[in-house]
Amino acid sequence: MSLSILAVLSIFFISYFSADAHSAYAASPGLISGTVFIDSNLNGIKDGGESGKSGWQITLTGTLSNGTAITPRNVNSNSTGGYAFNQLLPGTYTLTEADVSGWVHTSPKIITSISIGSGTVVTNNFGNVQLGTITARLELIL
């Protein structure tokens, strides 16, 4: 009799702890984060001394590895320009930086095909520069 109980317990533990049976629970959440920054040298790369820009909206969209589309998520960059999307399940994601009047993007405003696996951490920064104005004065000399 004890052999049959041992056999049942063995089958239970094998099925309970199999990777296939609990793959959704085995995945560690991923993270996509970065900085929205003022790109003073217009190279599209965050260099030392380039400050962050707060209040810029970043949107996350994507598809989980099982084919399910995620509900779009929005965050605004914080006081140092930082943003983060955490607790991401494995899948493929897209980031979109909103347009802001008077500013232009120096790096892509849409970043596609961001692959997140179990525990993946990805950094994507968004560079921007403010448009200037040119003022002219015309004088008529007679």
Q: What is the CATH number of the domain that holds 37?
A: 2.60.40.10
First to last CA, the chain: 118
Residue 66 located in a structural domain: yes
Give 119-137 as a DSSP string. Answer: T-EEE--EEEEE-------
Q: Which residues contact 22 (CB under 8 A, 6 or more apart)?
A: 16
Q: In this structure, is residue 7 part of a structural domain? A: no
Span 90-133, pLDDT tens digits: 999 999 999 999 999 999 999 999 999 999 999 999 999 999 86
Host domain of residue 61: 28-130
Whether residue 60 is contained in a domain is answered as yes
Number of domains in the chain: 1
Per-residue pLDDT tens for 16-65? 444 443 444 467 999 999 999 999 999 999 999 999 999 999 999 999 99
Q: Is residue 50 part of a domain?
A: yes
